[in-house]
Amino acid sequence: MLKARIAVFVSGGGTNLQALLDAEKEGKLPSGEIALVVSNKPDVYALERASAAGVEGVVLHKKILGQEAFEKQLIALLEEKKIDLIVLAGFLAILSEDFVKRYPRRIINIHPSLIPSFCGDGYYGLRVHEEALKKGVKVTGATVHFVNEITDGGEILLQKAVNIPEGIDASGLQKLVMEEAEWLLLPAAAEQVSREIVRKRNET
């Protein structure tokens, strides 16, 4: 079977990338293969994780290139590597509407809340968990969704709820949501979409 080729976009430590790499190694991503890791920042630990797994890592400096040149190079790279699916795993660079529309149902993102709660512009990283605690919600979680031109606005693929323990702080909650939801959901969603890509390819 020709697997779906996956590019993972990162901006930091790459814990969700590691969850994907581990899932592939354990046979939990049978329909997909991680073929490329793209970072918008140099010297991030995610690139070391890619290297350790034998996956090519590429840095594209969005700040230096500017949006248009950044995306032009990105598209050329994705085409060169014959990428079928893009997974945003803690990728903090904004992608333009034109870029997103180029890959309908081919870009997925993990968000650390139960969308539609605590999502949209400005809601990323620790802020999501700080707002959840401030609001006093008892249950949070994570969501994997398709990416469209609206921030966190695409069709939901998978969600998992996480109970919020008494007295936990935002960084503790961030870790808990990663362990109990994000690291399970993202590989499962990547496999779900990869399987669909392979099925459609075999039908044509």
- Residues serving a catalytic function are 111
Render the chain in DSSP notation, one character per residue: --PEEEEEEESSS-HHHHHHHHHHHTTS-TTEEEEEEEESSSS-HHHHHHHHTT--EEE--HHHH-HHHHHHHHHHHHHHTT--EEEESS--SPPPHHHHHHSTT-EEEEESS-TTSS-STT--THHHHHHHHHHT-SEEEEEEEE--SSTT-SPEEEEEEEEPPTT--HHHHHHHHIIIIIHHHHHHHHHHHHHHHHHHHHH-
